Protein backbone atom coordinates (compact mmCIF):
# COMPACT_ATOMS: atom_id res chain seq x y z
CA UNK A 1 0.00 0.00 0.00
CA UNK A 2 2.83 2.43 0.81
CA UNK A 3 4.41 1.80 -2.60
CA UNK A 4 1.13 2.59 -4.35
CA UNK A 5 0.76 5.86 -2.41
CA UNK A 6 4.37 6.80 -3.21
CA UNK A 7 3.80 6.07 -6.93
CA UNK A 8 0.65 8.21 -6.97
CA UNK A 9 2.53 11.04 -5.24
CA UNK A 10 5.41 10.75 -7.72
CA UNK A 11 2.98 10.84 -10.64
CA UNK A 12 1.20 13.87 -9.19
CA UNK A 13 4.51 15.63 -8.57
CA UNK A 14 5.72 14.89 -12.09
CA UNK A 15 2.44 16.22 -13.47
CA UNK A 16 2.81 19.37 -11.33
CA UNK A 17 6.26 19.94 -12.82
CA UNK A 18 4.89 19.46 -16.34
CA UNK A 19 1.98 21.82 -15.68
CA UNK A 20 4.35 24.44 -14.25
CA UNK A 21 6.52 24.12 -17.35
CA UNK A 22 3.51 24.58 -19.66
CA UNK A 23 2.42 27.62 -17.71
CA UNK A 24 5.89 29.13 -18.05
CA UNK A 25 6.22 28.11 -21.70
CA UNK A 26 3.20 30.20 -22.64
CA UNK A 27 4.92 33.26 -21.14
CA UNK A 28 8.68 32.82 -21.56
CA UNK A 29 11.19 31.63 -24.10
CA UNK A 30 12.61 28.19 -23.31
CA UNK A 31 16.14 29.52 -22.79
CA UNK A 32 14.88 31.88 -20.09
CA UNK A 33 12.98 29.26 -18.11
CA UNK A 34 15.01 28.08 -15.13
CA UNK A 35 14.66 25.05 -12.90
CA UNK A 36 13.86 27.50 -10.09
CA UNK A 37 10.96 28.89 -12.18
CA UNK A 38 9.59 25.40 -12.74
CA UNK A 39 9.94 24.28 -9.12
CA UNK A 40 8.39 27.52 -7.86
CA UNK A 41 5.40 27.00 -10.18
CA UNK A 42 5.04 23.36 -9.10
CA UNK A 43 5.59 24.29 -5.43
CA UNK A 44 8.36 21.73 -4.97
CA UNK A 45 12.06 22.01 -4.23
CA UNK A 46 14.95 21.56 -6.67
CA UNK A 47 15.80 18.10 -5.33
CA UNK A 48 12.28 16.97 -6.19
CA UNK A 49 12.70 18.24 -9.75
CA UNK A 50 16.00 16.35 -10.09
CA UNK A 51 14.40 13.21 -8.71
CA UNK A 52 12.21 13.21 -11.83
CA UNK A 53 14.30 14.90 -14.55
CA UNK A 54 17.97 15.60 -15.27
CA UNK A 55 17.29 19.09 -16.62
CA UNK A 56 14.67 21.07 -18.53
CA UNK A 57 15.66 19.32 -21.77
CA UNK A 58 14.91 15.97 -20.16
CA UNK A 59 11.54 17.37 -19.05
CA UNK A 60 10.58 18.44 -22.55
CA UNK A 61 11.84 15.13 -23.95
CA UNK A 62 9.56 13.30 -21.50
CA UNK A 63 6.60 15.49 -22.47
CA UNK A 64 7.06 14.80 -26.18
CA UNK A 65 7.43 11.05 -25.63
CA UNK A 66 4.36 11.00 -23.41
CA UNK A 67 2.32 12.91 -26.01
CA UNK A 68 3.42 10.53 -28.77
CA UNK A 69 2.58 7.31 -26.96
CA UNK A 70 -0.71 8.69 -25.60
CA UNK A 71 -1.81 9.81 -29.06
CA UNK A 72 -1.19 6.41 -30.64
CA UNK A 73 -2.75 4.59 -27.67
CA UNK A 74 -5.85 6.78 -27.85
CA UNK A 75 -6.39 6.21 -31.57
CA UNK A 76 -5.61 2.49 -31.68
CA UNK A 77 -7.09 1.58 -28.29
CA UNK A 78 -3.94 -0.46 -27.73
CA UNK A 79 -4.86 -2.92 -30.50
CA UNK A 80 -1.88 -3.69 -32.75
CA UNK A 81 -2.86 -4.64 -36.31
CA UNK A 82 -1.72 -3.82 -39.82
CA UNK A 83 -4.85 -3.06 -41.79
CA UNK A 84 -6.60 -0.07 -43.38
CA UNK A 85 -8.34 1.04 -40.20
CA UNK A 86 -5.20 0.78 -38.04
CA UNK A 87 -3.10 2.77 -40.52
CA UNK A 88 -5.91 5.32 -40.80
CA UNK A 89 -5.91 5.65 -37.00
CA UNK A 90 -2.12 6.04 -36.92
CA UNK A 91 -2.37 8.90 -39.41
CA UNK A 92 -4.99 10.61 -37.26
CA UNK A 93 -2.84 9.97 -34.16
CA UNK A 94 0.15 11.70 -35.73
CA UNK A 95 -2.00 14.61 -36.84
CA UNK A 96 -3.44 14.98 -33.33
CA UNK A 97 0.04 14.66 -31.84
CA UNK A 98 1.25 17.70 -33.79
CA UNK A 99 -1.76 19.69 -32.62
CA UNK A 100 -1.47 18.80 -28.90
CA UNK A 101 1.35 20.72 -27.25
CA UNK A 102 0.68 24.34 -26.48
CA UNK A 103 4.39 25.07 -26.30
CA UNK A 104 4.68 25.17 -30.08
CA UNK A 105 2.72 28.44 -30.16
CA UNK A 106 5.77 30.47 -29.09
CA UNK A 107 8.08 30.81 -32.06
CA UNK A 108 11.17 30.32 -29.89
CA UNK A 109 10.14 26.70 -29.29
CA UNK A 110 9.93 25.69 -32.95
CA UNK A 111 13.61 24.83 -33.34
CA UNK A 112 13.67 22.90 -30.08
CA UNK A 113 10.31 21.17 -30.01
CA UNK A 114 9.63 20.22 -33.63
CA UNK A 115 12.69 17.97 -34.09
CA UNK A 116 11.94 16.26 -30.76
CA UNK A 117 8.30 15.83 -31.73
CA UNK A 118 9.28 14.20 -35.00
CA UNK A 119 11.76 11.87 -33.30
CA UNK A 120 9.26 10.82 -30.61
CA UNK A 121 6.32 10.18 -32.93
CA UNK A 122 8.50 8.29 -35.43
CA UNK A 123 9.82 6.09 -32.61
CA UNK A 124 6.26 5.32 -31.48
CA UNK A 125 5.14 4.62 -35.06
CA UNK A 126 8.08 2.28 -35.58
CA UNK A 127 7.35 0.41 -32.35
CA UNK A 128 3.70 -0.04 -33.33
CA UNK A 129 4.49 -1.05 -36.92
CA UNK A 130 7.23 -3.42 -35.82
CA UNK A 131 4.74 -5.34 -33.68
CA UNK A 132 2.05 -5.28 -36.37
CA UNK A 133 4.37 -6.56 -39.11
CA UNK A 134 6.04 -9.37 -37.12
CA UNK A 135 4.20 -12.16 -38.93
CA UNK A 136 4.43 -10.64 -42.42
CA UNK A 137 8.17 -10.26 -42.96
CA UNK A 138 11.52 -11.61 -41.89
CA UNK A 139 13.34 -9.45 -39.34
CA UNK A 140 15.54 -7.86 -42.00
CA UNK A 141 12.60 -7.08 -44.30
CA UNK A 142 10.48 -5.92 -41.39
CA UNK A 143 13.10 -3.41 -40.22
CA UNK A 144 13.28 -1.88 -43.68
CA UNK A 145 9.50 -1.69 -44.18
CA UNK A 146 8.81 -0.39 -40.69
CA UNK A 147 11.04 2.59 -41.37
CA UNK A 148 9.51 3.23 -44.81
CA UNK A 149 5.90 2.94 -43.62
CA UNK A 150 6.57 5.10 -40.55
CA UNK A 151 8.01 7.85 -42.76
CA UNK A 152 5.05 7.68 -45.16
CA UNK A 153 2.50 7.81 -42.32
CA UNK A 154 4.39 10.64 -40.63
CA UNK A 155 4.80 12.77 -43.73
CA UNK A 156 1.21 12.21 -44.85
CA UNK A 157 -0.15 13.15 -41.43
CA UNK A 158 2.12 16.18 -41.22
CA UNK A 159 0.97 17.42 -44.63
CA UNK A 160 -2.62 16.81 -43.56
CA UNK A 161 -2.06 18.78 -40.36
CA UNK A 162 -0.33 21.66 -42.11
CA UNK A 163 -3.17 21.87 -44.63
CA UNK A 164 -0.90 21.80 -47.69
CA UNK A 165 -3.73 20.43 -49.83
CA UNK A 166 -7.40 20.97 -50.65
CA UNK A 167 -8.67 17.54 -49.57
CA UNK A 168 -10.60 16.85 -46.39
CA UNK A 169 -8.74 15.28 -43.46
CA UNK A 170 -10.58 11.94 -43.75
CA UNK A 171 -9.93 11.75 -47.50
CA UNK A 172 -6.20 12.30 -47.00
CA UNK A 173 -6.07 9.67 -44.23
CA UNK A 174 -7.98 7.18 -46.41
CA UNK A 175 -5.67 7.65 -49.40
CA UNK A 176 -2.51 7.34 -47.35
CA UNK A 177 -3.88 4.23 -45.60
CA UNK A 178 -4.64 2.62 -48.95
CA UNK A 179 -1.18 3.53 -50.23
CA UNK A 180 0.57 1.99 -47.21
CA UNK A 181 -1.51 -1.21 -47.02
CA UNK A 182 -1.52 -1.78 -50.81
CA UNK A 183 2.19 -1.02 -50.90
CA UNK A 184 2.76 -3.59 -48.19
CA UNK A 185 0.84 -6.20 -50.16
CA UNK A 186 2.83 -5.36 -53.30
CA UNK A 187 6.11 -5.64 -51.42
CA UNK A 188 5.02 -8.94 -49.88
CA UNK A 189 4.10 -10.33 -53.32
CA UNK A 190 7.38 -9.20 -54.84
CA UNK A 191 9.38 -10.84 -52.06
CA UNK A 192 7.86 -14.26 -52.69
Question: Is 73 in contact with 127 (CB distance < 8 Å)?
Answer: no
Closest CA relative to residue 35, chosen from 19, 58, 55? 55
Same domain, 21 and 114: no
State mean pLDDT over 83-100: 91
**Is 108's pLDDT higher than 60?**
no
Residue where a domain terminates, one of 53, 77, 92: 53
Same domain, 10 and 103: no
Helix, strand or coil, per DSSP, at residue 24: helix
State mean pLDDT over 116-138: 91
Question: Is 64 in contact with 120 (CB distance < 8 Å)?
Answer: yes
Q: What is the pLDDT of residue 187?
A: 61
Closest CA relative to residue 82, chosen from 45, 148, 145, 131? 131
Give the integer Cα–Cα distance in Å for 129 and 25: 33
Q: Sign (positive/negative) of CA torsion 73, 77, 83, 89?
A: negative
Same domain, 62 and 152: yes
Q: What is the pTM of this model?
A: 0.79
Range of 107's domain?
Answer: 58-191
Q: How many domains does the chain have?
A: 2
Amino acid sequence: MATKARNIRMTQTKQSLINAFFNLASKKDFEKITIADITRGAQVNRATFYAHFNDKYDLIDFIMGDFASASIEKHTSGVVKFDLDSIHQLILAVSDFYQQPNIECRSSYGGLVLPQMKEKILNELKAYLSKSLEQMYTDNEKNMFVSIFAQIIHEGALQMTLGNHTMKKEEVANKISLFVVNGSQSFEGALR
